[in-house]
C-alpha cells in the first residue's frame, strides 16, 4: 500500500515574497503551466485582493484550462466586526473563479490578541464563518493554520479549538504551518501526530526554512500522517525561504518507501527542468550545489572519486542523476587524475594513449596556475584536448581587432568594434556597434563569419561572468571571463584569462564560436571545411 501525498506549490505567492524575486503576469502564467505539465497537484496563484496583477492572473489562468493541477486563491479570514459575505477579501476570492480557496487564520492566542487585536472567541468565529461561507459558495477550502506549532506549544487547548473550527466549518484540509521556521523535526512529528488523531479531516504541512530544516520538517510531518506538503520550487520565499519542493518530491519518490507523489516517474524526471525554468524565469542564479538538480549535484572532480564512479556510479552517487532529469559531470582541475581526462576526452578516441593523457593533465595544471578553471568551461577543455593532441585547426584566424568607446550626445555611451580576420583564403574586415565592448566584438565577429558559417545564427550568448584572479595586484590583476553559450542542442561554457578584460573576453568568445563550428561538423550539420 502506498499513500498519495499531495504537492501544493506556492511559488507564485509565498515564493514571490522572497527578496529579489519578481514575477510578471506572463512569468506567473508560464510557471503555472509548467507546474501543471509536471504533475503538481495544487498551484497557489496569489491573493487577488492585494494587487491587480494577481487578480488578472486568476482570470487568465482560468482561460488556460490546466490539465491536472487545481488553482488556489489565497486569502485571510473575514475582518473583525464584519460578516463574511460583506468582506472585500471574500468577494475578491469568489471573483477569482479559483476552484480552491486557501484561507490563513491565527492558531496562536498571542497573535490573535496582539496582532489581530481580537478576542480569542472572535478569532475562532472569524475562522468558522469564513470557511463556512466560502464552502457554501461551492469552493474547496484548504485552511492554513498560521504559527501553528508556536501556538500549539504555548496554548495547545486553544490551538486545537482553532483547527477544529476550520474542519467543522467545511475545510477539506487543515495545513499545519511552521510560519517562523523555528520548530525542530521531532516537534513537527509529535504535534502532527496529535493533529491527525484529533481532527476529522486530513492534515497538511507547510514549513519555512529559518533553521535550514524545512525539507526535513516536511518529511517528518509526512511520516507523522500529513498527506499534503506545501512549499516552493527551489525553496524561494521570505527570509530564509520555504521547503524546497524539488527535494521534498525527490526524497518522497526515490528515497522513502510507501509514498506516491506527482503522477509518474516521468514527472519526477522533470524536476531539474522545472527547477531551472523557475530560476531562469525569475532571473535568479542557479544554485549549483542544490541537491538532486544542481549542476554540481552529480559533478566529480577528485581523481580518486572519478576513478571509482567510472567503475561503479553508486560509489559516490546516491541515485542515478537521470531519475530527476540531471546528468553526471566530470570536472577538470589540478586535482584531476587520468581518470577525469579519460572520461572527458573519451570522444577523441585517445584513451589508450597514456602519454597524451599525461600531457593534457600537465597542460591543465599549468593553465590553472595562470588562473584558468575548466569546471564551467568544458567547451574550452574540449578544444584544449584537440590542441594538445595536434588535431586542432582554427576555423578562422584573427589578424587584429580594435574596440572604441566614446561618449555621444546627452552622455550616451557608444561602443564600436572592428575585427580583421582571415577565413580560409579570404580576408574580412568588419565593423559593428554594440551595448558594450563584448557585444560589439560578438556582432563584428558574426558579420565576418556569417557568409561561410550561416549556422552561427543559432549561436546565442547566454551569460557573461568576470572574476578578478589576483586582486592584490589592483588594476594590473588578471581577470577570468566565463561565457556561457548555447544553440538548439544545448549549452556550453568557454573561458579566457588575461590582464586585459577585452582580450580575456575575446578568448572566451572565440572558443565559443570554434566549439560551435566543431560541434556542427561532428554532427554533419554542414559540409566539411574547405582545405
Read off the pLDDT of each residue in 351-364 and give the average, rounded to a whole number. 79
Which domains are seen in the chain, by residue range? 3-281 (3.20.20.70), 299-389 (no CATH)
218-255: pLDDT as tens digits: 999 999 999 999 999 999 999 999 999 999 999 999 99
Asked if the model's pLDDT at residue 195 lies above 90, the reply is yes
DSSP letter at 244 equals B
Residue 179, Ramachandran bin (φ over 0: left; ψ between -120 and 50: alpha; else beta): alpha
Asked if the model's pLDDT at residue 9 lies above 90, the reply is yes
Please report which confidence band the pLDDT of residue 527 belongs to, taking 50, 70 and 90 as the band edges. very low
Q: What would the grid cell of residue 134 be? A: 466560502
Percent of the chain, pLDDT > 70? 90
Spell out the SS3 assignment of 182-214.
CCCHHHHHHHHHHHHHHCCCCEEEEEECCCCCH
Please report which confidence band the pLDDT of residue 526 belongs to, taking 50, 70 and 90 as the band edges. very low
506 by DSSP, 3-state: which?
A: helix
* Residue-level pLDDT at 10: 98
* Residue-level pLDDT at 338: 54
* Residue-level pLDDT at 418: 95
Asked if the model's pLDDT at residue 525 lies above 50, the reply is no
Is the pLDDT higher at 146 or at 522? 146
First-to-last C-alpha distance (Å) of the chain: 67
Asked if the model's pLDDT at residue 368 lies above 50, the reply is yes
How far from chain centre, in Å, is Cα 511? 27
Asked if the model's pLDDT at residue 211 lies above 80, the reply is yes
411-453: pLDDT as tens digits: 788 899 999 999 988 999 999 999 889 999 999 999 999 999 9
Strands, E assignment, 222-361: 228-231, 259-260, 299-300, 329-330
Please report which confidence band the pLDDT of residue 531 belongs to, taking 50, 70 and 90 as the band edges. very low
* Residue-level pLDDT at 336: 53
* Residue-level pLDDT at 179: 96
Among 109-123, 292-306, 338-352, 380-394, which is the least confidently predicted range? 338-352
* Residue-level pLDDT at 42: 98
What is d(CA 237, CA 209) in angstroms, rounded to the nearest whole number?
A: 9
Contact 83, 125 (CB under 8 A): no
Asked if the model's pLDDT at residue 528 lies above 60, the reply is no
Residue 325, Ramachandran bin (φ over 0: left; ψ between -120 and 50: alpha; else beta): left
Q: What would the grid cell of residue 73 be? A: 486563491
* Residue-level pLDDT at 343: 59
Please report which confidence band the pLDDT of residue 158 belongs to, taking 50, 70 and 90 as the band edges. very high
Asked if the model's pLDDT at residue 360 lies above 70, the reply is yes
Q: Using the CB atoms, write b or e for 486-506: b if 16+ within 10 Å.
A: bbeeeebbbbbbbeebbebbb
75-122: pLDDT as tens digits: 999 999 999 999 999 999 999 999 999 999 999 999 999 999 999 999
The CA–CA distances, whole Å, from 111 to 76, 107, 240, 426 equal: 14, 8, 21, 77
Q: Using the CB atoms, write b or e for 336-355: b if 16+ within 10 Å.
A: bebbbbbbbbeebebeeeee
Asked if the model's pLDDT at residue 351 lies above 70, the reply is no
Contact 304, 311 (CB under 8 A): no
Q: Which residues pair with 434 in a beta bridge?
A: 415
Among 143-147, 198-202, 310-314, which is the least confidently predicted range? 310-314
Is the pLDDT higher at 363 or at 138? 138
Integer Rg of the chain from CA = 28
Q: Where are the alpha helices (DSSP H) in 88-181?
A: 88-95, 109-111, 120-136, 148-154, 156-169
DSSP 393-437: --SSEEEEEEEEEEE-GGG-EEEEEEEEEEETTEEEEEEEEESSH
* Residue-level pLDDT at 372: 86
Q: Which residues pair with 446 in a beta bridge?
A: none
Element (H, E) at 473: none
Question: Which among 466, 474, 453 is positioned nearest to 517, based on CA atoms?
Answer: 453
Is the pLDDT higher at 525 or at 281? 281
Q: Which residues pair with 353 in a beta bridge?
A: none
Asked if the model's pLDDT at residue 37 lies above 90, the reply is yes
Q: Using the CB atoms, write b or e for 124-133: b if 16+ within 10 Å.
A: bbbbbbbbbb
Read off the pLDDT of each residue in 504-514 and give the average, rounded to a whole number. 95
Please report which confidence band the pLDDT of residue 128 belongs to, taking 50, 70 and 90 as the band edges. very high
DSSP 20-88: T----HHHHHHHHHHHHHTT-SEEEEE-TTT-HHHHHHHHHHHHH--SSPEEEEEEEPPPTTS-GGG-H
Contact 322, 313 (CB under 8 A): no
* Residue-level pLDDT at 50: 83
Q: What would the grid cell of residue 431 be? A: 565593423
DSSP letter at 15 equals G
Element (H, E) at 272: helix 271-281
Asked if the model's pLDDT at residue 354 lies above 50, the reply is yes
Among 221-230, 245-254, 328-337, 346-355, which is the least confidently predicted range? 328-337
Say whether pTM exceeds 0.75. no
What is d(CA 79, CA 91) in angstroms, rounded to the nearest whole number?
A: 12
The percent helix, strand, coil of the chain (3-state, each to 5) is: 45, 20, 35
Q: What would the grid cell of residue 381 be? A: 577543455
* Residue-level pLDDT at 491: 86
Within 8 A by CB and 6+ apart from 502, the residues are 403, 437, 438, 441
* Residue-level pLDDT at 94: 96
* Residue-level pLDDT at 117: 94
* Residue-level pLDDT at 349: 65
Within 8 A by CB and 6+ apart from 440, the residues are 403, 415, 416, 417, 432, 433, 434
Mean pLDDT of the chain: 90
Amino acid at each position: 500500500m502506498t499513500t498519495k501525498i499531495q504537492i501544493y506549490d506556492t511559488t507564485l505567492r509565498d515564493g514571490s515574497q522572497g527578496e529579489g524575486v519578481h514575477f510578471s503576469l506572463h512569468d506567473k502564467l508560464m510557471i503555472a503551466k509548467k507546474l501543471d505539465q509536471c504533475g503538481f497537484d495544487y498551484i497557489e496563484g496569489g491573493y487577488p485582493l492585494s494587487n491587480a496583477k494577481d487578480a488578472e492572473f486568476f482570470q487568465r489562468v482560468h482561460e488556460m484550462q490546466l490539465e491536472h493541477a487545481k488553482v488556489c486563491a489565497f486569502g485571510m479570514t473575514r475582518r473583525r466586526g464584519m460578516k463574511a459575505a460583506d468582506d472585500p477579501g471574500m468577494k475578491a476570492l469568489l471573483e477569482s473563479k479559483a476552484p480552491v480557496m486557501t484561507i490563513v487564520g491565527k492558531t496562536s492566542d498571542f497573535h490573535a490578541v496582539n496582532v489581530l487585536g481580537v478576542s480569542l472567541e472572535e478569532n475562532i468565529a472569524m475562522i468558522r464563518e469564513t470557511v463556512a461561507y466560502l464552502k457554501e459558495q461551492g469552493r474547496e477550502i484548504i485552511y492554513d493554520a498560521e504559527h501553528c506549532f508556536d501556538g500549539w506549544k504555548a496554548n495547545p487547548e486553544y490551538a486545537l479549538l482553532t483547527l477544529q473550527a476550520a474542519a467543522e466549518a467545511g475545510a477539506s484540509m487543515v495545513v499545519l504551518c511552521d510560519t517562523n521556521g523555528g520548530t525542530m523535526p521531532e516537534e513537527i512529528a509529535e504535534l502532527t501526530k496529535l493533529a491527525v488523531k484529533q481532527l476529522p479531516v486530513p492534515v497538511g504541512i507547510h514549513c519555512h526554512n529559518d533553521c535550514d530544516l524545512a525539507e526535513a520538517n516536511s518529511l517528518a510531518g509526512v511520516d507523522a500522517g500529513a498527506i499534503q506538503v506545501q512549499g516552493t520550487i527551489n525553496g524561494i520565499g521570505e527570509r530564509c525561504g520555504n521547503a524546497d519542493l524539488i527535494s521534498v518530491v525527490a526524497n518522497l519518490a526515490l528515497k522513502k518507501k510507501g509514498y506516491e507523489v506527482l503522477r509518474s516517474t516521468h514527472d519526477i524526471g522533470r524536476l531539474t527542468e522545472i527547477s531551472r525554468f523557475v530560476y531562469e524565469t525569475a532571473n535568479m542564479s542557479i544554485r549549483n550545489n542544490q541537491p538532486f538538480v544542481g549542476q554540481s549535484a552529480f559533478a566529480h572532480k577528485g581523481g580518486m572519486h572519478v576513478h571509482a564512479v567510472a567503475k561503479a556510479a553508486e560509489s559516490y552517487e546516491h541515485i542515478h542523476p537521470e531519475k530527476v532529469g540531471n546528468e553526471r559531470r566530470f570536472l577538470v582541475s589540478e586535482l584531476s587524475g587520468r581518470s577525469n581526462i579519460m572520461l572527458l576526452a573519451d570522444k577523441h578516441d585517445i584513451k589508450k594513449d597514456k602519454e597524451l593523457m599525461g600531457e593534457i593533465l600537465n597542460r591543465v595544471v599549468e593553465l590553472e596556475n595562470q588562473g584558468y578553471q575548466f569546471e564551467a568551461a568544458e567547451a574550452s577543455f574540449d578544444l584544449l584536448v584537440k590542441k594538445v593532441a595536434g588535431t586542432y585547426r582554427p576555423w578562422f584566424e584573427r589578424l587584429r581587432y580594435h574596440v572604441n568607446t566614446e561618449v555621444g550626445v546627452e552622455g550616451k555611451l557608444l561602443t564600436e568594434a572592428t575585427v580583421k580576420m582571415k577565413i580560409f583564403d579570404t580576408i574580412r574586415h568588419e565593423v559593428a556597434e554594440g551595448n558594450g565592448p563584448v557585444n560589439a566584438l560578438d556582432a563584428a565577429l558574426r558579420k565576418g563569419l556569417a557568409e561561410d558559417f550561416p549556422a552561427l545564427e543559432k549561436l546565442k550568448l547566454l551569460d557573461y561572468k568576470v572574476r578578478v584572479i589576483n586582486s592584490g595586484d589592483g588594476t594590473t590583476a588578471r581577470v577570468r571571463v566565463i561565457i556561457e553559450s548555447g544553440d538548439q542542442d544545448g549549452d556550453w561554457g568557454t573561458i579566457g584569462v588575461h590582464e586585459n578584460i577585452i582580450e580575456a573576453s575575446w578568448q572566451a568568445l572565440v572558443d565559443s564560436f570554434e566549439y560551435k563550428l566543431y560541434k556542427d561538423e561532428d554532427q554533419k550539420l554542414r559540409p566539411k571545411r574547405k582545405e
